[in-house]
Amino acid sequence: MPPQERPALPSFRQAFLFWLKLGFISFGGPAGQIAVMHQELVERRRWISEHRFLHALNYCMVLPGPEAQQLATYIGWLMHRTWGGIVAGGLFVLPSLFILTALSWVYLAYGHTSLVAGLFYGIKPAVTAIVLHAAWRIGSRALKSSALWAIAAAAFVAIFAFNVPFPFIVLAAGLIGAAGGRWAPGHFAMGGGHGAAKDGYGPAAIDGDTPTPPHARHRWGRFAAVAAIAVLLWGAAMAALAAGFGGWQGTLAQMGWFFTKAALLTFGGAYAVLPYVYQGAVDHHQWLTAAQMIDGLALGETTPGPLIMVVAFVGFVGGWTKAVLGPEALFLSGALAATVVTFFTFLPSFAFILLGGPLVESTHQNLKFTAPLTGITAAVVGVILNLALFFAYHVLWPEGLGGRIETASALIAVAAALALFRFQRGVMEVIGGCALAGLALRWVFGA
């Protein structure tokens, strides 16, 4: 399509096929997933403008839960109403659930395999490069002023050097943005009008000047209805688990309750809630061991979907270990438990988007509301950079800085970075190439 011609809003079928594809290629954690969505939706397809994309992202950043999945839900809802949001968010998660269920079964039934170990050996350093590339891509677009650069740098120092909790960083960045929007608005304006056109992409189907569609306009009656449906879904699911699987103290009911609490505490992404999940799942409920929890994190890092999908592994191992459907049906026990914890982990995310989306849409041209969110986005760039260093440290120096560097992993990471930065290859190509390289190193050279 010519760069100055506004594309039509995609049909539901076109959007469905895209969200299905995204569910299978969303590697690299939230940073990589957001980068893929930006490349596909803002740059390539122009379904939504930079301005509207960042405004939605800013809202998702301040919510508990996986921000990339919530962003997909938000954009799907904005384009195709409630079912569009449910399809977008659901397809973001379901491929990961199926893949993790299968890998968890292989893990428990057959132990680690050389095939899986080899693929993971190559994917881990690739993920490091993908997250670093995502920090650069998002930062180059979000950090439009010296004030925003300063916020990003301060956020990086705060979390890297002083281990400041992410919610405090978000709060501070939001307050700075609010003050900046009042006293120095030029530093905190996201830009209006044809946001994508200003960045050279061309006008978008949903652009900065596109009127808010009727379904995205705030109405208190709709707000109350969505809230009631969410509470009823949660209550009905909990009642069914308690009635059919051992009462309130049964394994599945306890999983539902525990992961509901975890879903409401995931400010700052999956890494912020993993200590809580570890404490409850390993120490208190004993659904799995500490070693199994670490293996599950590796699976979560190297499969598509949100990193918090590690909870599906926790659920599968817990359902298998506790034999919730009996010792003769261990796979079904694990699969059911994985589905249960996934449902309770992501139900709040759908509710937050469907409840808050209309309120957020009413503010996308109002600097008073966008300036705090712009400050938060700047801070998140610094946090993503810290995440890239976290991955690099654990992948390249698995024995700690005092140990030897993992030379083969370092070479794969450099190759992945060159492919992304220099040759601008797609995330899926990089993941696939690095996975094959890791497999070759493991099998041929015994790396």
Band of pLDDT at residue 84, cut at 50, 70 and 90: very high
Band of pLDDT at residue 368, cut at 50, 70 and 90: low
Q: Looking at the DSSP assignment, which residues form a beta bridge with residue 48?
A: 206
pLDDT, greater one: 158 or 107: 158
Band of pLDDT at residue 191, cut at 50, 70 and 90: very low
Q: Which of 436-440's residues contact partners 24+ apart within 8 Å by CB, and which partners?
A: 436/122, 437/122, 437/412, 438/118, 438/119, 438/120, 438/121, 438/122, 438/123, 438/124, 438/412, 439/115, 439/118, 439/119, 439/121, 439/122, 440/118
322/256 Cα distance (integer angstroms) = 15
pLDDT at 194: 35
319/367 Cα distance (integer angstroms) = 49
346-366: pLDDT as tens digits: 999 999 999 999 988 877 656
User: CA angle, corner 225, sides to 220 and 230, nearest 5?
Assistant: 125
Residues 420, 16 contacting (CB under 8 angstroms): no
List CB contacts of 14: < 8 A, sequence separation 6 or more. none
384-401: pLDDT as tens digits: 788 778 778 878 887 777
121-156: pLDDT as tens digits: 887 788 788 778 877 877 887 788 999 999 999 999
306-315: pLDDT as tens digits: 878 889 999 9
User: CA angle, corner 89, sides to 236 and 392, nearest 5?
Assistant: 120
pLDDT at 366: 62
Mean pLDDT of 337-345: 96
Q: What is the DSSP annotation of 236-304?
A: HHHHHHHHHTTSTTSHHHHHHHHHHHHHTT-TT-HHHHHHHHHIIIIIIS-SS-HHHHHHHHHHHHTSS
pLDDT at 112: 59
> What region, left, alpha or beta, does residue 141 occupy, with left being phi > 0 and alpha being psi -120 to 50 degrees?
alpha
pLDDT at 192: 39
8-27: pLDDT as tens digits: 899 999 999 999 999 888 76
pLDDT at 88: 96
pLDDT at 87: 97
Lowest average pLDDT, out of 157-161, 189-193, 198-202, goes to 189-193
Q: Could you tell me how many helices (H) and strands (E) the chain has, helices first?
A: 18, 0
Band of pLDDT at residue 320, cut at 50, 70 and 90: very high
| Distance (Å) of CA 250 to CA 256, 288, 345 | 10, 16, 18
pLDDT at 272 exceeding the cut of 60: no
pLDDT at 270: 61
Residue 29, number of CB atoms within 10 A of its CB: 27
Residues 433, 419 contacting (CB under 8 angstroms): yes
Band of pLDDT at residue 157, cut at 50, 70 and 90: very high
pLDDT at 190: 56
Band of pLDDT at residue 158, cut at 50, 70 and 90: very high
Mean pLDDT of 86-96: 94
Q: What is the DSSP annotation of 211-244?
A: PPPGGGS--HHHHHHHHHHHHHHHHHHHHHHHHH
